[in-house]
Copies of this chain bind each other. A is one copy, B any other.
């Protein structure tokens, strides 16, 4: 039997902790951003054969484990509709409080359509601030206009 995707992720995350690796270091190996890297190795993204080649030695992945990472994952990592973890919950809160305002402002600028969450990237930066450093998260998604039919 092939290992499950979950067990391959568990192995990778286990090795990451054991060796004290950071997502940023692994991201350099994969030549992707840290967020994509963390998502992908936790089981949320498809890895190409080239991606697997880059990390297989680092995490001592077998050929079978690499094959599993090259299947298309069923995305959605929380197992909860409303996340209980405060860090993740804040994204839910932002959506509740500002979601419609973001929709209004974007559609006034772009017309009827949405920001793609597929042709989409995330960047996370630290913004130094004397009153306490700030987290800057940048979403960048292609605008997709609704097609009339």
A33 to B102: give the CA distance in the assembly, Å. 11
A interface, by DSSP: helix, strand, loop or mixed? mixed
User: Which residues of the other chain, B, contact A91 by a CB distance below 8 angstroms?
Assistant: 91, 94-95, 99, 102
Contact A46 B84 (CB under 8 A): no
| Known contacts A14-B2, A108-B23, A115-B90; is-contact A83 B98 (Cβ 8 Å) | no
Give the complex CA separation of A148 and B36 in angstroms.
Answer: 7
A145 to chain B, nearest CB (A): 7
Return chain B residues, CB-CB under 8 Å to A54: none
Q: Which residues of A (1-58) have their CB < 8 Å from a CB of B?
A: 1-2, 10-11, 14, 17-18, 20, 22-24, 32-39, 42, 44-46
Residue of A97, A102, A124 ringed by the most chain B CB atoms within 10 A: A97
